[in-house]
Amino acid sequence: MNSVKTLGEEAAAEPPRARRPRGLVPEIVASLETDIREGRLVPGQKLPTESELVGRFDVSRTVVREAISRLQASGLVETRHGIGTFVMAPRAVEPIFRIAPEDFATASDVIELLELRISLESEAAALAAQRRSGESLAAMAAALAGFNVAIHADSDAVPSDFLFHMEVARATGNRHFADLMTYLGTMIIPRTRLKTAASAPEGRLPYLERVHHEHENILDAIRRQDPEAARAAMRTHLSNSRERLRRAQPEA
């Protein structure tokens, strides 16, 4: 993988190498944190544009946006809509609420996050059913189509799974739901950390097809603008995820 470079370093030409998708966001966050803490980026200075960061790190816009969201959550930068993202002065104390990659070390950790998601995302689904637009319905449907293609292509379908939940959050019209999902990132999908699909008794594909069916139930309720059904479908889906994880990881 190409090493992540600070702003003060020139990128040496190297042949393409295989990348580790799950490590891209932390690498970018670490590089920009280093630039800030070592003074190459100072308080009040504007970060490079999204396009410049995409080119610098050779990643997608989605990866850059997730990295910026994590820097925002850490209090290192702030985004001023229509202007750009700026470095903030260091804070005296760490933010009270923080979920870091090391907080997903065990099955018990992932179950605790699922319990948090049950309360938050069930309400998000109900709000999405009340407020969804034709555009948001299309975005959710596209995410599910991508999920279905991925699971039949021997993929764990984590990106499209996360995208579906993100689109439900966006459909609420409340930016805080989407901001929280962006902050948490794909780590909220248990398969990111634990091989739940591969170890499922029924087999990988039937396991993921069941997940897909649960997603379809959520979308159907949102499409019908039935908040109670959407809330129940999301709660059922996340509760089932918790129980599937418990069965796959008995020590949890």
Q: What is the pLDDT of residue 156?
A: 79
Residues 6 or more apart whose CB falls under 8 angstroms from that of 39 comprise none
pLDDT band for position 21 (50/70/90)? very low
Q: Mean pLDDT over residues 4-18, rounded? A: 43
Count the neighbouring beta carbons within 10 Å of the beta carbon of residue 25: 23
More reliable by pLDDT, 148 or 93: 148
pLDDT at 1: 44
200 within 8 A of 245, measured Cβ to Cβ:
no
Cβ distance 218 to 208 under 8 Å? no
pLDDT score for 250: 55
- In what helix (H) or strand (E) does residue 198 lie, and over which residues does it extend? none
Query: Is residue 147 within 8 Å of 102, Cβ to Cβ?
Result: no
Q: What is the pLDDT of residue 113?
A: 85
Q: Which residues of 176-189 are buried (b: 16+ CB within 10 A; e: fewer)?
A: ebbebbbbbbbbbb
What pLDDT does 18 receive?
A: 42
Q: Report the percentage of the chain scoring pLDDT > 90.
A: 42
Tell me: pLDDT of 143 over 90: yes
Q: Are 4 and 28 in contact (CB under 8 A)?
A: yes
pLDDT of residue 134: 96
Residue 222: pLDDT over 90: yes
**To the nearest whole number, what is the mean pLDDT of the chain?**
82
Residue-level pLDDT at 10 = 39
* pLDDT band, residue 22 (cuts 50/70/90): very low
Q: What's 225's DSSP letter? A: T
Q: Identify the structural domains of the chain with CATH numbers, from first to last.
A: 1-97 (1.10.10.10), 101-248 (1.20.120.530)
pLDDT at 194: 61
Q: Which tens digits make up the pLDDT trace of 40-92?
A: 899 999 999 999 999 999 999 888 988 898 888 778 898 888 888 999 886 64
Interval 198-213: pLDDT, tens: 666 777 888 899 999 9
| pLDDT score recorded for residue 101 | 62
Q: Which residue has the higher pLDDT, 144 or 15?
A: 144
Query: Among residues of the chain, what percentage have pLDDT more than 70?
Result: 78
Residue 8 to residue 14: CA distance in whole angstroms? 18
The predicted model gives 118-127 an average pLDDT of 96
Query: Mind listing the pLDDT tens digit for each residue in 146-176?
Result: 999 999 998 878 889 999 999 999 999 998 9
Q: Which of the pair, 97 or 73, is modelled with greater confidence?
A: 73
